[in-house]
Amino acid sequence: MCRRGGVEGEDAVTDAETATFRNPVLPGFHPDPSICRVGEDYYLVTSTFEWFPGLPVHHSRDLVHWRPVGHVLDRPEQLDLDGVRPSGGLYAPTIRHHDGRFHVVCTLVDGTGRSGHFLVTATDPAGPWSDPVWLDDAAGFDPSLFFDDDGTVWFHACRPATEDGAEPASPGRTEVYLRRLDLAAGRLVGPEHVLWRGALVDAVWAEGPHLYKVDGRYHLLAAEGGTEQNHAVVVARADEVTGPYTGNPRNPVLTHRHLGPGQPVVAVGHADLVCTPAGDWWAVLLAQRPYGGGYHPNLGRETFLVPVVWEDGWPVFCPGVGQVRLEEPRPALPPHPWPTRPPRDDFDAPELDHSWNMLRTPRERWWSLSERPGHLRLRARPETVAERGQPSLVARRQQHASWTASTAVEFTPAGARDAAGIVVVQNDDFHLRLVVTRGGEGDRAGRVVRAVRREAGVESVLGEHALPETGRLLLSVRADGQDHALRWALDAGAEADAGSGGDAGSVGDAGSVGEVGPRWQTLAHTDGRMLSSTVAGGFTGTYIGLYATGEGGAAAAVADFDWFEYLPHAE
């Protein structure tokens, strides 16, 4: 069991290039982080809600540099997300390692099939992971596991609080409860113990609980206040795992809610602790970085890393500062960066990269990397990104406030509903589409590029331009903060047929910024604030993806994407 470590600054790295690191350590939509250490290796999982594969696993040797190694739930038979609403699905996983095995416990919320808590295990965090073992008698959400020194395994989670064990308490009032888990039988046993209802009087949304044993005492770490600007980290401790728990008189031990609006980092909470081999403590937690005026966190909830020390038997987060900063002194661990991931995916690998996700569980193989080597082929299924189905969409997280995403696509729409291109997605009712489709009617129908904005379920066409009936098209979305420019260009050799000019291109015919290339046309500019959860609701961040839809059937149209490139702008 890890004990309290030394004070902040011991064994500090002195090299000027490695003395600090930049937060967040996992930028973009990576909420509810949970971490464990095995020897000198660290493993971290985060929530994914309605996105598939579920629960990405990241690996680090220095707590700063992380690489994806797989997903906990990557087989359709493991995970039923059919029809799950936006921001339903997989909530708040916890990862722990015990006796040579990794354990992840999580909650599937509002599933149209199976819902509730489940447990999966693996000997290798990269997988394969087991099929879920459902804990049918466990209520609530945000589960966690604690392996005690005597071998007892304790399951703890949150649920709506009740008054006198019968009547529901006020809205948002929750409680942390504890029960023993029989791992071999895959079920909870023994009596329940209610541990905590929050630090503040009438606290709402006590959630994200984790238990630790430090210097012989049990420490309960939790969040409260809701997962937006009032989010906070609180802690309590007890002499027995079942309680009673006494709150830290300095609670909350970390929050930004008292700083007011306009801060670069807000909504701090949902922490998990880890101890290095040298005895230093760190916490991973979620926070948001709004931008573009007001509270608009398009990036979603991201994973940050902060130092922790122990004083008077209590954890002190961000000692001497009390805030989560964008730049922190790095851990006293040997720097271990991973090979840089290229900004462009040429779709040359046999399987999709770990960075790509899909909406809900794929029940058929509508994508291919082999039918046309060097291309991602999407078969245009009838489901659209505006429905709660499983559209032909592969998407990756937005990870910067300013960025450019580009692709080269070959697509010939047959019917009026056939469309393929780039989408920028918050959810089914809030997104942008830049697609090749068919415009006009009857003999006048022809191939066009169209920009569509969908806000609160209402669609508006921002711009449209006629295209030659054949030929490869370049599509690009450039975001400068909340200003989103939707652009297109004909591939080299096809421009002469278009008879139109446009902006000088920043993406060349090979797709790299700065090269001389085709002449771009800006089809529309639009405000991206509606892509934030503040406007759209929910708990997810923005995704950027490649998309195809159509009438379906045996003769469904196919879209071939030669490459996809995501480039951040200099900040």
CA distances from 30 to 16, 44, 286 (A): 29, 10, 8
Residue type, 234: V
Q: Which sign does the torsion angle of CA 176, 177, 181, 186 carry?
A: negative
Listed by start position, the domains of the chain span 20-329, 344-568
Q: What is the second-level CATH architecture of the domain 20-329?
A: 5 Propeller (2.115)
Task: Report how far residue 554's alpha carbon sits from residue 551's, in angstroms, rounded to the nearest whole number.
Answer: 10
Measured CA to CA in angstroms, residue 205 lies from 198, 270, 535 at distances of 8, 11, 21
Question: Which CATH class for the 344-568 domain?
Answer: mainly beta
Q: Which amino acid is at 304?
A: F
The answer, yes or no, to whether residue 383 has pLDDT greater than 90, is yes
pLDDT tens digits for range 288-306? 999 998 899 999 999 999 9
Catalytic residue from among 8, 80, 175, 207: 207
Q: Which amino acid is at 554?
A: A
Each residue's pLDDT tens digit, 437-495: 998 776 567 999 999 999 999 999 999 999 999 999 999 999 999 999 999 999 865 44
Question: Is 32 among the catalytic positions?
Answer: yes
Those residues whose C-beta lies under 8 Å from the C-beta of residue 350, and which sit 6 or more positions away, are 369, 370
- Residue % of the chain over a pLDDT of 90: 84
Q: Are 548 and 380 in contact (CB under 8 A)?
A: yes
- Residue 169 pLDDT greater than 90, yes or no: no
Q: Active-site residue among 8, 32, 62, 272?
A: 32
Average pLDDT, integer, range 103-131? 96
Whether a cis peptide bond, with omega within 30° of 0, leads into 329 is no
Phi, psi of 78 (to 5 degrees): -80, -30
Cβ proximity of 50 and 83 under 8 Å: no
Residue tagged 């406007």 (tokens): 535
- 488-498 pLDDT tens trace: 999 865 443 33
- Is the pTM higher than 0.85? yes
- Judged on CB neighbours under 10 Å (0-12, 13-18, 19+), 69 is middle
pLDDT tens by residue, 33-87 = 999 999 999 999 999 999 999 999 999 999 999 999 999 999 999 999 999 999 9
List, for residues 208-248, the tens digit of each pLDDT value: 999 999 999 999 999 999 999 999 999 999 999 999 999 99
pLDDT given at position 443? 58
Mean pLDDT calculated for residue range 152-176? 86
Tokens of 368: 């291919």
What is the rounded average pLDDT of the residues 399-424?
Answer: 95
In this structure, which long-range contacts are made by residues 160-164, counting pairs with CB atoms below 8 Å and at least 24 apart in sequence?
161/197
Q: What is the pLDDT of residues 255-289, one digit of tens each?
A: 999 998 889 999 999 999 999 999 999 999 999 99
* Per-residue pLDDT at 552 exceeds 80: no
Using CA atoms, how far apart are residues 501 and 485, in angstroms rounded to an integer? 17
